[in-house]
Amino acid sequence: MTRRFSFDGNDKREVSQADFSWLVGNFLVAAPTWAEGPFARTVVLILQHNPDGVFGVIVNRPADADLKKFWMQASGSPASEAERLHVGGPIGGPVFAVHSMENFAEIKIDGGLFISANYDAIHKIIESGDNRYRIFCGMVSWKAASLATELANGLWFPLENRSELIFPSQEVEWERAVVAYGRDCLSKMLGGYPIAGNPELN
């Protein structure tokens, strides 16, 4: 974990001017403090930071039946598990794919990730045989001041990009993301000393 993944709640800068560009392409993991509500046990991939705020998608909320029906009506094809359709958040917007295939990219974000919202591009991604993609409908956003306050209050754990969290062989697990954050913190405390997967080896 690098120094850019720390947030000083005592920082004297105006939080409304906080620069969260360091989060783009990385994750915010909901702290256990979120016992209920829309962000409980979520993992959010941050896609963009601009003067309007910070934008991202929840990566561990699979599509419900209504969204699958919408996808089938819009695309003319069933929303199979292979298409990795997800609810990105409560804010509406175009259906788009987050993927690792640069030749289909419309927008590049940090961490070797790309975004495509073009209908033809999304279907080419699906048909490519490369399973490193997810399709989202909806997103989340914060004003900079709101996110700064939530980070200062420990409601989110910043976590560096991990391909196994955005493109796993199974659904993203909130618990796995929390453990990854804890391991990063421990490694940082130990001066970068690697942490063994088996705690008995540490």
What pLDDT score does 196 carry? 53
What pLDDT score does 202 carry? 43
Long-range contacts of 164-172 (CB under 8 A, 24+ apart): 165/27, 165/43, 165/59, 166/45, 166/59, 166/98, 166/113, 166/134, 167/100, 167/131, 167/132, 167/133, 167/134, 171/60, 171/62, 172/43, 172/59, 172/60
What pLDDT score does 189 carry? 64
What pLDDT score does 17 carry? 53
Where the chain has pLDDT below 70, the residues are 1-17, 74, 76-83, 168-172, 186-202
CATH H-level superfamily of 3-201? VC0467-like (3.40.1740.10)
The string of pLDDT tens digits covering residues 43-78 is: 999 999 888 899 999 998 888 777 777 777 767 666
What pLDDT score does 168 carry? 64
What pLDDT score does 198 carry? 46
Domain extents in the chain: 3-201
What pLDDT score does 79 carry? 59
